[in-house]
Copies of this chain bind each other. A is one copy, B any other.
Amino acid sequence: METPNALTATEAAKRIEAGTLTAEALVASCIERIDAREDVVGAWKAFDRDFALQQARALDKGPRRGSIHGIPFGVKDIIDTADLPTGYGSPIYEGNRPMADAPCVALSLASGGVLMGKTVSTEFASRHPGKTTNPHNPKHTPGGSSSGSGAAVADGMVPLAFGTQTGGSVIRPAAFCGCFGWKPTYGLISGYGVKENTRSFDTVGLYARDLDDIALFRAGVLALPHEPIAEGSLTGLRVGFCRTMMWDRASAATQERIEHAAAVLAKAGARVTDFPLEGPFAGFAEAGKTVTGFEFPRSLTWERTHHADRISDELLKTVLEPGLKVTLAEYQRAQATIAACRAWLVDAMADVDVLLTPSAPDEAPEGLSYTGDPCFNIVASWTHIPAVTLPVYTGPKGLPIGVQFMGRRGGDMNLLAMAKAALPALRAG
């Protein structure tokens, strides 16, 4: 028999509402899974079983609070929590206890969620990795920077989790670990109380093992009524096959899977056309690097001033110090290039409903020191459009390969509906 930790959030929420499952039993089952697997997976930075069980018991006794009543969720450790330490993935913040929860956490708790713990982040949501391994093979990276959230959800330790994406930090770990990841339209979920990397790109996102769970969690996080994902059809759906400028960086297996996905969608009735990124996109990758270069080292000024010795060389020497050489004029030109790409995309997407693209260049790389290449995630991150990754394929190494859909700015629910319509066909393959 399935243990409660393996249920989707949607199913668990239904059972809790019907009285056939308690929040306490669900949380206890997740704790059991964590106890069994944490030594290998290392998804958690802070985890307090008593605190989790205490929340669950209170919810079982009280009135229904909202869409995720009784459902445990993990919080990436760069997001502030008042009841658990918040380390921002850095030894500098060991033991840091913010006074308040970030709005996204407070909104989840107000909707009945159970704060299960803080999940491992790379250092300041940049590259330097934490302890987390890929739940499918501990010799491989889980991706980053939301390493612990992707791994914890994919491994069944918790049905829901928060991540953040500046380059590829929500979609990539989801793809590598084999769960769903949603990077919403920029600004949709409040980013206050989230340690800043590059404010112009930073976006809070969600993880789940089921697409409907994303909508359930979304309702809680936004303090909106639960709007289930609409039932859609592939017939006539206009799919832009977006290989991006980075197609050559995708492995043969990934190229083959995404080409296959395009063929499957076409066979199921979608109108699939090539969607090359042109015009200002020639300068896109360089421009985004310049924007991060200008913003990130300024954002970490207090840390650079007082604790430079506890910043990794990887971050200090290869990101922050070069970034400080970016001039304001270069930064402003780069922002103008990104703005031009956003406008170009709005026009180009007038003829398509959704973009199909890889979630990552390959299966999760071997080793834990490199969290992988975000090259297929920067388009959505920097142009502010929503993206979702669907865990539908497996690669030659037996690790997950995701399929990424990107939608129109603000059209997040429509994007989820198109993904949901595509999912059965993609899974049937």
**Restricting to A295-325, which residues have a CB under 8 Å from any CB of B?**
295, 298-303, 305, 324
Please state if B301 and A222 are interface contacts (CB–CB under 8 Å): no
Answer yes or no: A267 CB below 8 A from chain B CBs: no
Chain B residues within an 8 Å CB radius of A192: 196, 199, 299
- Given A192-B199, A222-B328, A301–B187 Cβ distance below 8 Å? no
Q: Please, which residues of chain B bring their CB within 8 A of the CB of A102?
A: 302
**Candidates B93, B99, B103, B109; contact of A299 at CB < 8 Å:** B103
Q: Could you tell me the distance between the alpha carbons of A157 and B333 in the complex, rounded to whole angstroms?
A: 39
Check if B187 sits within 8 Å of A191, measured CB to CB: no
Residues 211-240 of chain A, each 1 if its beta carbon lies under 8 Å from chain B, else 0: 000000000001110000000000000000
Q: Does any Cβ of B come within 8 Å of A107's Cβ?
A: yes
- Contact across chains for B299 and A100 when beta carbons are under 8 A apart: no
Closest to A81 in B: B302
**Copies of this chain present:** 2
Closest CB in chain B relative to A290 CB, distance in Å: 14
Query: Within 8 Å CB of A273, what residues of B?
Result: none
Of residues 177 through 229 on chain A, the ones whose CB sits less than 8 Å from some CB of chain B are: 187, 190-192, 196, 199-200, 222-224
Closest to A185 in B: B332
- Chain B residue, CB-CB nearest to A307: B100
- Of the candidates B100, B301, B305, the one whose C-beta lies within 8 Å of that of A303 is B100
The B-contacting residues of A in range 60-112, CB under 8 angstroms, are 82, 93, 96, 98-103, 105-107, 109-110
Q: Are B196 and A190 in contact (CB under 8 A)?
A: yes
Closest chain-B Cβ to A91's Cβ sits at a distance in Å of 13
The answer to whether B410 touches A332, judged by C-beta atoms less than 8 angstroms apart, is: yes
What is the CA–CA distance of A190 and B98 in the complex, to the nearest angstrom?
Answer: 20
CA distance A301 to B110 in the complex (A): 8
Chain B's closest residue to A295 (CB) is B190
B100, B187, B298: the one within 8 Å of A223 (CB):
B298
Q: Which residues of B contact A223 (CB under 8 A)?
A: 298, 301, 324
Q: A100-B302, A187-B199, A190-B299 are in contact. List 18 more A-B contacts (CB 8 A).
A: A98-B98, A100-B303, A101-B301, A101-B302, A103-B196, A103-B298, A103-B299, A105-B302, A107-B301, A109-B305, A110-B301, A190-B199, A190-B295, A192-B199, A192-B299, A223-B298, A224-B328, A335-B410
Interface pairs (18), CB distance under 8 Å? A93-B99, A98-B98, A100-B302, A100-B303, A102-B302, A103-B196, A103-B300, A106-B301, A106-B302, A109-B305, A187-B199, A190-B295, A190-B298, A192-B199, A223-B298, A223-B301, A224-B327, A224-B328
Which 5 A-B residue pairs are closest in the complex by CB-CB distance? A106-B301, A192-B196, A106-B302, A100-B302, A101-B302
